[in-house]
Structure 1
Amino acid sequence: MKFVAKEDVALPQKVLFEIMADFQMFERVAIRRGVEVTRSGSIAAADGLKWDCTFEFRGRDRTACVRLAEFSAPEKTMFFITNPALDNRVEITVSALSKKQSRFQVSTVLEPKTLTARLLVQSMKLARSKYNKRFQKRVAEVAKELVALGAA
């Protein structure tokens, strides 16, 4: 199942991408939300970066491995997120609209690996418009947060 959301941001492409490339900031955000994060690989190199995450979701402990698959500054970042039930590919693209504006596009593809995950994804397909709206809303919130960070 695929979700795509676009948001126009009042930041230059390079500035927006630099904020998004601050992986340590995103680690701190995850830790504040109760996620245990263990990074392997070098932040400076950005190649081979991987995060092992443990968190509680719906009353159960979950694990996920987030791997940086592609890092093409200042345009594109791709992550592969795997856990025992789902594989998820997240692609973030930043394109310049003008000198002071850029477009932030996030696409994600969910691929179930278990029967339970297949049922979850199938139910999401039935309520696709609801989940598309949620995804768009969350991407808009993230875009606002990135603009606030860029203004600081």
Structure 2
Amino acid sequence: MKLSTREDIEAPLSYVYGRISDFAAFERRALRQGIAVSRRSDAAPAVGTVWDISFDFRGRARKVEAALAKLEPDHALQIASQSDGLTADTQVELIALSATRTRVMVSFELKAKTLTARLLLQSLKLAKTKLTKRFKARVLDYAEMVEDDYRRGQ
């Protein structure tokens, strides 16, 4: 199952890239939401950096391993994740539309590796319209936050 969206942000490409590649900020945000996140190395994030993520979902403890698969400065990043028979691939691409406007394209693909995961994925596909709407709303909220922060910082 694949979800994708794009948003235009009134901020320069370098600023937007700096925000989407600020992994420490994402770690803090997840911790505030009750998600345990730990990076396996103390070095600055680079291709191969791995995070262990654990959280409760539908009454069960879940564990996810997320690895930074691609990191192209001022252009793109990709995170590959795996958990209990599911694999996920998240890609973020940036395009400079002008000196002060950036297009962000985000895609998320979920694949099942086990029968149990296939059943879960099938139930998610039934709610794909709702999930797509929520996914687009989250990306839009983040884009607006980045844009607002840029305006305040000028």
The answer, yes or no, to whether TM exceeds 0.5 is yes
Give me the whole-angstrom Cα distance separating, in 1, the residues matched to 2:31 and 2:134.
Answer: 23
CA distance in 1, matches of 2:45, 2:55: 27
Structure 1: give runs of 5+ residues left out of the alignment. none
Q: CA deviation at 1:130?
A: 2.3
Is 1:59 the counterpart of 2:59? The answer is yes
Tell me how far apart the structure 2 counterparts of residues 43 and 66 of structure 1 sit (CA, whole Å).
Answer: 16
TM-superposed deviation, 1:150 = 2.9
Which deviations, in whole Å up to 9, do the C-alpha atoms of 1:102-146 show, x marking residues without a partner? 111110110012222212222232333222212111111121222
Percent identical pairs in the alignment equals 37
Partners in 1 of 2:62 and 2:22 — Cα distance?
A: 25
CA root-mean-square deviation: 1.5
Count of aligned pairs: 152
Q: Are 1:18 and 2:18 an aligned pair?
A: yes
Are 2:23 and 2:45, in contact at CA under 8 Å, matched by a contact in 1?
no
Describe how 1:125-144 pairs up with structure 2 within 5 A.
125-144=125-144
Q: Equivalences for 1:8-87 in 2 at 5 Å?
A: 8-44=8-44, 46-87=46-87
State the alpha-carbon separation in 1 of the partners of residues 106 and 45 from structure 2.
23
What is the Cα deviation at residue 22 of structure 1?
1.0
Q: Where does structure 2 lack aligned partners over 5 or more consecutive residues?
A: none
Using the TM superposition, give the Cα deviation of residue 56 of structure 1 relative to its aligned residue in structure 2, in angstroms.
1.0
Q: 3-state DSSP class of the match of 2:100?
A: coil
TM-score, scaled relative to structure 2: 0.91
